[in-house]
Amino acid sequence: MSRRKTPQEKKRLSCTKDHRNVYGENDKASRKNLPRKRARVHRANRHRAHQILFGATVSTDTATADAVEQKLSGLRPRTFRKSPDLALGDYVQWKLARRAVQPSAAS
């Protein structure tokens, strides 16, 4: 059984565990854009492999086929990396620092 947490403990845990999207686009847009970006990377990998294989099918030379096989085996596929969200505590500090630098709209 867990013990009760004080409001200060709850706030501290919230600042470390909760995260905010700081990617720069609408958070709802990520639902469509992340799968779209991942698919684009996979599509580019398939396209690149197809281009290399198409070059091998045109010639019947065994040396060319060996070179293509060597090229395909050494090919490093492109990858998609999602940037992580920022912890709530770090986000609040960043937001306050940005607010202090910007001129106020009230004056």
Query: Would you state the pLDDT for residue 5?
Result: 92
Please give the residue that has the higher pLDDT: either 100 or 70. Answer: 100
Residues 45-74 have pLDDT tens digits of: 888 888 877 766 666 677 776 777 777 777
Q: Which residues contact 19 (CB under 8 A, 6 or more apart)?
A: 84, 85, 86, 87, 88, 91
Spatial distance between the Cα atoms of 54 and 63, rounded to a whole number of angstroms: 15
- Report residue 85's pLDDT band, with 50, 70 and 90 as the boundaries: confident
pTM summary value: 0.55
Q: What is the DSSP letter of 80?
A: -
Residues 8-52 have pLDDT tens digits of: 999 999 989 998 888 777 878 888 888 999 999 999 888 888 887
